[in-house]
Amino acid sequence: MRALDRTNGHPPNPAFARLKTLARRDDGSMAVFSVFVFFAMLLVGGLAIDMMRHENERIRMQNTADRAVLAATMLRANVSEATPQQLVEAYFAAEGLSPQLAGRVVVGGDNETGRTVTVIPAASVPSLFMRLLGVNDFAIVTPAQATEAVSGGVQIELVMVLDVSGSMGGSNKIGTMRNAAIDLTNTLLADNADGSVAVTIVPYAASVLPPAGFLNHFTNLTGTSGACADWSVWNVISNSLSQPISRNSCSTSSWRTVRPYLHDPVVTAGYINALVASGTTSIDLGLRNGALFFDETLQPIISQMIVNGAIDPVFQGRPYAWNTPGLVRALILLTDGENCCGERMPTLVQDVNTLATCTALKAQGILIYSIAFQAPTSGAALMRACASSSNHYFNADTSQLAAAFQGIGANIQTQALRLTY
């Protein structure tokens, strides 16, 4: 006998029974959930791709804006007839970003009073995936501003520690170095009557010859004769006048003399042109004596040299205190060799001395530009380790040295500019 429907006594409807069975089954729910998960993953992945595209374009625009305003604001370096606005537009055109700039350049000041350059590039990056949520594009604005003041602004102190050992006489390396160094100082010291840029020249070979009477100011000096001195402490570059040093004999040819705080390009070129090649190499001594001219405790010596007429009065109060704002301190260290040759101490010890002084200088924020000028492997490795970064290290031959000095000069001038935002 057929079963009857409990509600009306009729046999059950087969289609209705199948629907009731399907309603009780749950094996298809995971497929629905998977669709939702896939859609969510698509949105998250798409957001990541869209944001990456946005960030890449933003970084490209910001880097171009920063470089452009720095170049347009650099008063001394711009020897072309291009206006600041033309320089900015040239940078953006080179990157294919002229539409993003769209003429939004503001130039204030002039070559006499100083200059401020502001750019406000803007763009939008179309979205690829976020359109699904109604976001069609991402806006980008990358403003940049740089300022250079001619007077009362950023000042530069550069110490040039130059190898004048005998090996520099080969292949006219000394002549190549002289020319490159003069080109640099001519650029930095142009229109510099106020002493906003100071250059100190430290020639070194087996020893370093300080200015006349210089050693008399040191309170922890041993030895009774000798115009030069050697150091006992290498990792401390402050309170130098109380550091233990010892007199020793050395060549006293006038061209070997350290020349501190120069601001006249003609006078500076004369001192550099007088350099010749003679003696062995003590990179550590050259560097440690160069570090002296960043130490504020040398102020009494500089004041006395001003009284004696050896330094221009515009440099009264130098060296500035370590925490003085608006000051770029830089040191160029050049060698064509390596520490040698056992006259003072083993090469390894001299290398340790050199690195200790480099570390101390960098800890005080001194920019160290090192040049291995056709130096052997060990000398080049020491120069690389001393540099403030890999970008501050140059390995150059005679055909490349001028470009290395030019690059250093441009970088120093860039440091003297300020990216306001």
What is the b/e burial string over 128-158, where b = at least 16 CB atoms within 10 angstroms of the residue's CB? ebbeeeeeeebebebebbbbbbbeeebbbbb
> Strand 122-126 vs strand 228-231: parallel, antiparallel, or unpaired?
unpaired
- The secondary structure element, H or E, covering residue 304 is helix 299-307
Alpha carbon distance 299, 388 (integer Å): 26
pLDDT tens digit sequence for 33-92:
666 666 666 666 767 887 888 788 889 999 898 888 888 887 655 556 788 889 899 999
At 221 the pLDDT is 94
Identify the residue whose tokens are 């056709």.
374
Residue 292 has pLDDT above 60, yes or no: yes
Mean pLDDT of 301-307: 95
Residue 373 has pLDDT above 70, yes or no: yes
Q: Within 10 Å of residue 240's Cβ, how many Cβ atoms? A: 24
Backbone angles phi, psi at 213, to 5 degrees: 80, 0
The CATH H-level superfamily of 155-419 is von Willebrand factor, type A domain (3.40.50.410)
- C-alpha closest to that of 237 among 162, 307, 159: 159
Domain boundaries of the chain, sorted by first residue: 35-148, 155-419
pLDDT tens digit sequence for 237-283:
999 999 999 999 999 999 999 999 999 999 999 999 999 999 999 99
At 413 the pLDDT is 79
Q: How far is CA 6 from CA 13, 18, 239, 253, 388, in A?
A: 12, 17, 108, 126, 93
Residue 19 has pLDDT above 90, yes or no: no
At 124 the pLDDT is 87
pLDDT tens digit sequence for 133-148:
777 888 889 998 887 7
At 418 the pLDDT is 64
% of the chain at pLDDT higher than 70? 84
Backbone angles phi, psi at 159, to 5 degrees: -115, 125
Alpha carbon distance 361, 368 (integer Å): 8
- Give the torsion through C-alpha atoms of 290, 392, 274, 251, to 10 deg: 40
- The secondary structure element, H or E, covering residue 248 is strand 245-248
Q: Within 10 Å of residue 120's Cβ, how many Cβ atoms? A: 15
At 420 the pLDDT is 63
At 155 the pLDDT is 87
% of the chain at pLDDT higher than 90? 60
Mean pLDDT of 217-232: 93
Q: Pick the more confident residue, 7 or 324.
A: 324
78: tokens are 């711009």
> Strand 105-110 vs strand 327-335: parallel, antiparallel, or unpaired?
unpaired
What is the DSSP code (8-state) at residue 209?
A: B
At 1 the pLDDT is 46
At 74 the pLDDT is 72
> Strand 367-373 vs strand 327-335: parallel, antiparallel, or unpaired?
parallel
133: tokens are 């949520």
Alpha carbon distance 408, 392 (integer Å): 8
Provide the mean pLDDT of the chain: 87
At 114 the pLDDT is 67
95-104, 201-210, 368-377: segment of lowest average pLDDT: 95-104
At 134 the pLDDT is 75
* DSSP string of 327-346, one letter each residue: EEEEEEEEESS-S--SSSS-
